Structure 1
Amino acid sequence: MKIHNLSKENSVLNCFLSELRHVDIQKDAMRFRRNIERIGEILAYEMSKRLTYQSEDIQTPLGIHTSKLPKNDLVLCSILRAGIPLHQGLLNYFDQAENAFISAYRQHKEHPESFEIVVEYLACPSLENKTLILADPMLATGQSMVATFEALKAFGTPKEIHLVSVIGAKPGIAFIKKHFGKHVNLWIGTIDEHLNEKGYIVPGLGDAGDLAFGNKLQQ
């Protein structure tokens, strides 16, 4: 798996990431969502450099201009509910993409540290021979990413796969490496060192879904 960690180079992305993490700034849910959206736009731009392009003649009012335009058939799939702002950021740049949505949540067992990923709602077009962009803002244990991909297999075999996250943890990235092929690309804002006993990224930023949309009842 090819990892594209955008935090390795200095850019305005670091400003948006720092605001997402800041305990005071992240209290503003609208700004939190917008920062995730902006990071999605940056990730989309960087990803666009790796797509397949072909030349097309464009008619202008004064003549013909030949442009190189992407020809990938994109399907953008986001994991609800935290993935909604990230989905919008990606869609702002890949506005011709088809869209898919899937729900995945942690169902805790007897111990708070023990959980399984439950996938319920899924709406998806055909993925056969298309470019799949699978987005989840927080790549913690990696189990959600793998579980949703397994559910998507019923819709066809993609030609290319791009995974997109805002923040990930090294253990989660190591986990998905075992389940995705070497030709899969991971586009990520930054990578943190470890997870705590409950499987949350440290230092991370907390629960992205709650910060974006409000607290939820635990399953």
Structure 2
Amino acid sequence: MYIHDLSKQNSVLNTFISEIRSVSIQKDRMRFRRNIERIGEILGYEMSQVFNYTPSTIATPLGACSISELENDIVLCSILRAGVPLHNGLLNYFDKVENAFISAYRHHKDSTENFEIIVEYLACPNLEGKTLILADPMLATGQSMVATFEALKPYGTPKEIHLVSVIGAQEGVNFVEKHFNASAHLWIATIDETLNDKGYIVPGLGDAGDLAFGEKLQH
């Protein structure tokens, strides 16, 4: 797997990462969502540089202009609910893509910290021969990414696979690297070293879904 860790170079991305981590700034839900969206835009731009392009000629009011245009047939799939702002950021740059949505959540079988990933909802177009972008803002254990991809397999075999995350733990990065083929790409804004005993990224930022949309009742 090709791993693209954007934190290895300084850019304005650092500002957005700082703000979504900050316990004071992240309390502003609208700003939190917008920062995730802007991070998605940056990740989308970086990812676009490895896509395929076709020479084209367009007419301007003053003449003809030669330009290369994106030719990838893209399906953008996000994991609900935390993935919505990230999805919107990517969609801002890939406005002609098809879209897929999937729900995936942690189910604790007992009182321990062990859990399994449950997929309950899936809406997806045909993936055969297309470029699949699978977006989840938090790459903690990596199990959600893998479970989601397994659920997508009946919809066809993509030509290319690109995983997109905002913050990941090294353990999660290692996990997806083992479960996706060598030609897949991971685009990530920053990587933290550890997970706590509940499987959350440390230092991370907390629960991205709750920060974006409000706390949920636990059943």
Shared fold per TM-score greater than 0.5 = yes
After TM superposition, list the pairs within 5 Å mapping 1:151-162 onto structure 2. 151-162=151-162
Structure 1: gaps spanning 5 or more residues: none
Structure 1 segments of 4+ aligned residues over 2 angstroms from their partners: none
Q: Give 1:6 shift.
A: 0.3
In 2, distance between residues paired with 1:92 and 1:131?
17
Q: Give 1:112 shift.
A: 4.2
In 2, distance between residues paired with 1:203 and 1:135?
21
In 2, distance between residues paired with 1:78 and 1:112?
28
In 2, distance between residues paired with 1:66 and 1:102?
39
Quick one: which amino acid aligns to residue 98 of structure 2?
Answer: E
Quick one: which amino acid aligns to residue 97 of structure 1?
Answer: V
What secondary structure, in the 3-state scheme, does the structure 2 residue paired with 1:15 have? helix
Structure 2: gaps spanning 5 or more residues: none
Question: % of aligned pairs identical?
Answer: 74
In 1, distance between residues paired with 2:122 and 2:170?
28
Q: Give 1:218 shift.
A: 2.3
What secondary structure, in the 3-state scheme, does the structure 1 residue paired with 2:179 have? coil
Task: Say which is worse superposed, 109-118 or 62-71, in terms of deviation.
Answer: 109-118
In 1, distance between residues paired with 2:119 and 2:17?
28
Paired position in structure 1 for 2:217: 217
In 1, distance between residues paired with 2:85 and 2:69?
26
Quick one: which amino acid aligns to residue 70 of structure 2?
Answer: P
What secondary structure, in the 3-state scheme, does the structure 2 residue paired with 1:44 have? helix
- The answer to whether 1:109 aligns with 2:109 is yes
Paired position in structure 1 for 2:207: 207
- The answer to whether 1:17 aligns with 2:17 is yes
In 1, distance between residues paired with 2:4 and 2:21?
21
Paired position in structure 1 for 2:75: 75
Q: CA-to-partner distance for each residue in 1:50-77, whole Å, 9 max, x for gaps?
A: 0001101101112111100110000000
In 2, distance between residues paired with 1:148 and 1:197?
23
Paired position in structure 2 for 1:197: 197
In 1, distance between residues paired with 2:73 and 2:88?
18
Q: CA-to-partner distance for each residue in 1:100-122, whole Å, 9 max, x for gaps?
A: 00000011121241111000110
What do you get for the CA RMSD once the two structures are aligned? 0.7
Task: Say which is worse superposed, 77-86 or 102-111, in terms of deviation.
Answer: 102-111
Whether contact under 8 Å (1:112, 1:198) holds in the other structure is: no
Paired position in structure 1 for 2:5: 5
Quick one: which amino acid aligns to residue 106 of structure 1?
Answer: R
Quick one: which amino acid aligns to residue 126 of structure 1?
Answer: N
Q: Give 1:178 shift.
A: 1.2
TM-score, normalization by structure 2 = 0.99
